[in-house]
Amino acid sequence: MPNIIKIDSIDLPELEVFRLGENALRHYFEPQEGLFIAESPKVIARAMSAGYEPVRALVGTDEAEQSAELFSGSDELDVYVGDDGLLSEIAGFKLVRGVLCAMRRRALPTVGEVCRNADRIAVLERVVNPTNVGAVFRSAAALGMQAVLLSKGCADPLSRRAARVAMGTVFQCPWTFYDDISEIKRLGFETAAMALTDKSISLRDYQPRGRKLAVLLGNENDGLSPETIANCDFTVRIPMDNGVDSLNVAAASAVAFWVLGGK
């Protein structure tokens, strides 16, 4: 069973990890993999089910009983319990469900390992908003995309906000970072760039030719780079009405995955 420790101060050195920024957490054990903060019981439960190791937990008094069950299999884990106001003061934001858990990162798999058993994958290029990254993961997991690849400029899927918006699906859907679209094409994936160009095919009319398909989505402001679009097999657009040219990348991903995913 975990060690339940009641607190009435924000100054305990053991709670420092909950005050650190994302970058400091990522490098916490450098050169080894660092930490991330998971928020809410559902996100934490999915992370633990996926094999991520909890290091320390911070829990509101209203969530203490539920959290005891959540961490029941984590012997000797220190679980610090305090009122919600104290937790918000420590974390620097209002907690949605009153539970935070610092967890160890794991070494990322290769592109080949992530895509080994996948027929449908989502590819994100420079999607910088963690809320959008989390929403894309949730759509990917729900709508038949079996893996997610991210360019180096994307927001971290294990950031607190991304994982929370994803409802923990970042721990269910295999993912990693990629360097170049050629890696994806070498694995036999047909590549469909979601973009507005003169050569774009309507999503209603696009029919993938092969069994394996990669759906590419780009940056919130600029979309996919011209180089990426030029290197894709097809360019696909979602038809719009009323003079609207495009959807937010998270909304566009849900539409595209619904039509093209391996449901």
- Is the separation of the CB atoms in 256 and 236 below 8 Å? yes
The region, left, alpha or beta by phi > 0 then psi within -120 to 50, assigned to residue 236 is beta
Query: Which SS3 state, helix, strand or coil, does residue 115 take?
Result: helix
Residues 153 and 179 in one domain: yes
Segments forming the whole domain that contains residue 62: 3-104
Query: Last residue of a domain, which of 63, 84, 104?
Result: 104
Query: Last residue of a domain, which of 76, 104, 132?
Result: 104
| CATH number where 51 lies | 3.30.1330.30
Structure tokens at 145: 């995309």
Threshold 0.85, pTM exceeds: yes
pLDDT (tens digit, 0 to 9) for every residue of the chain, 263 residues total? 788 889 887 788 888 999 899 999 999 998 889 999 999 999 999 999 999 999 999 998 877 777 778 888 888 899 998 887 777 777 777 666 688 999 999 999 999 999 999 999 999 999 999 999 999 999 999 999 999 999 999 999 999 999 999 999 999 999 999 999 999 999 999 999 999 888 899 999 999 998 999 999 999 999 999 999 999 999 999 998 887 878 899 999 999 999 998 76
One-letter amino acid of 120: R
User: CA 248: distance to chain centroid?
Assistant: 17
Residues 134 and 241 in one domain: yes
143: which residues sit within 8 A by CB, 6+ positions away? 254, 257, 258, 261, 263
Cβ neighbours around 231 below 10 Å, total: 17
